[in-house]
Amino acid sequence: MKAVSRITWLLLLAAAGCATPQSSSDYQQYLETSVSPPALRETASPVGVEEPVTLSASLTLEAALAAAELTHPDLLRARAEVDAAAARLDASGRLPNPVAVGRMESAPFDGDTTGEAEYVAGVSQRIPLGGRLGATGRIQARERDRASSLYEARRREIRAGVHGAFAAALYAERVVATLASAVNIAETGATIARARVAAGDAIPGEEARSDLERIRASLELERARALREQATLALAAAIGSPGTPIASLDGALDSTLEIPAIESIAAALDASPEIEAARAVIATLQARAELADAERVPDVDLDLFYRRLEGENRNSFDVGIGIAFPLFDSGKARVRAARAEIAVAEADARTRRAELERRVREAHFRLSAAIRAARIMESEVLPRAETVLRGAESRYRAGDASLAEMLPLRRDRTAFELGHLETLRDVRVAWADLSAYLGLK
């Protein structure tokens, strides 16, 4: 039994030697010369920890964007995928763990079984050849690059969604304010109409008509308030907290925006995260092709054993080497498939590039058209509509114009103002769509 104790001790020693795997030299060299991927934006909370969101009573666009980046579930998921890819990169490129081996050999059935047997203890280490470890590390590095690029692309999409939802909610608030002003004007008109009827300057029908106009304006205001509630719900959903109430917004629709030149947009498109993600896919497949080519070189198994010849009371050792013989699978088919997948990814990248350019040009066109319309409404339409309405109001108060002439002009003035707000909203939404592709601020 003394020999058994000795073998047990040797096995424990061999297992202790297996506790710290070593990296291959070619992979270490790769890590020293590889290019780091785009840096992941720092977040206020770690992955998987969602802090409660508190939106202020007067929510600004900056606060809405900050809340979305902190708690939006899609961004939490994307950040977790980046962390997982980084962890896989850390775990890649290492030698396989050695295998501890302990055996009792040549034990006779008759006689002293344990006393005449041979005891073997040692380790077996597989050595991958052909640059396989370096190729594995490059695969995981490119996967991390792709995850980082997809995270940035999704971050831009969410920010653009918050931009658009904020513009729509702000537009709804401005519509409510405009229609509330129209209600006040209608109520004032109804008061004037009642006074004129009482004075004998107008027929009773004008009083009834002014009351109908006041009721119509009030109903439009109620519908606008309902739409504003829907817009704020959509904004909370875009932020990633659909159950969080938003009391009011703090912002302006009519801030100045500069239209970027289409040439600069086309140049910046190649640096967009979606294009970077497509490049990372191609690089990953190229590394997989390298790995498939490296796997054609068989691995080598190195064996080192201590042998106890109990019958002869002697110690000895065994050294062995094993190598797979590629008789049935040479690996050529895997290399050919990997190269074909690279061609598919390159074609997909070209298609994606063309689609992105189409969307960017469309967003640029919509932005340019919306800005032109907003400027025309602000500089030409609204001033003229205001002048016409003020003249008609003066004539109406003087008794030189009827209510039938006044009401269409009031409605037109309100409609023009709502149209102006709509063009400002369209500007913001088009800008948000463009920023999603180009990372504009």
| Residue 230 banded pLDDT, cuts 50, 70, 90 | very high
In a domain, residue 385? The reply is yes
163 burial via Cβ count (<10 Å: 0-12, 13-18, 19+) = buried
pLDDT in tens, 375-429: 898 888 989 888 888 888 787 777 777 777 777 888 888 889 899 898 988 888 8
Structural domain boundaries enclosing 87: 34-94+128-296+331-438
- Torsion-angle region of residue 282: left (phi > 0), alpha (psi -120 to 50) or beta? alpha
Q: What is the per-residue pLDDT for 439?
A: 66
In a domain, residue 2? The reply is no
User: Is 50 exceeded by the pLDDT of residue 141?
Assistant: yes
In a domain, residue 271? The reply is yes
User: Is 60 exceeded by the pLDDT of residue 226?
Assistant: yes
User: Is 70 exceeded by the pLDDT of residue 123?
Assistant: yes
pLDDT in tens, 68-84: 999 899 999 999 999 99
What CATH number has the domain bearing residue 405?
A: 1.20.1600.10
User: Is 60 exceeded by the pLDDT of residue 313?
Assistant: yes
Q: Which one has a higher pLDDT value, 197 or 157?
A: 157
Name the helix (H) or strand (E) containing 122. strand 118-127
What single-letter DSSP state applies at residue 153? Answer: H
User: Is 90 exceeded by the pLDDT of residue 222?
Assistant: yes
User: Is 60 exceeded by the pLDDT of residue 1?
Assistant: no
In a domain, residue 160? The reply is yes
User: Is 60 exceeded by the pLDDT of residue 49?
Assistant: no
Strand ranges in 1-81 using DSSP code E only, listed in sequence order: 58-60
Residue 104 has phi, psi (to 5 degrees) of -115, 120
In a domain, residue 100? The reply is no
Rounded CA-CA distance 126/96 in Å is: 6
pLDDT in tens, 298-308: 888 888 888 87
pLDDT in tens, 341-351: 999 999 999 99
Pick from 321, 306, 299: which is nearest to 17 by CA?
306
**Cα 122 vs. chain centroid, distance in angstroms?**
51
50-81 as b/e: b if 16+ CB within 10 A: eeebebeeebebeebbebbbbbbeebbebbeb
3 state SS of 323: strand
Q: What is the per-residue pLDDT for 14?
A: 44
In a domain, residue 133? The reply is yes
Q: What is the per-residue pLDDT for 440?
A: 59
Task: Please tell me the total count of domains within the chain.
Answer: 1
Rounded CA-CA distance 209/227 in Å is: 27
Q: Which one has a higher pLDDT value, 245 or 281?
A: 281
In a domain, residue 240? The reply is yes
% residues pLDDT > 90 (the chain): 18
Q: Which one has a higher pLDDT value, 76 or 269?
A: 76
Q: Which one has a higher pLDDT value, 433 or 13?
A: 433
User: Is 80 exceeded by the pLDDT of residue 122?
Assistant: yes
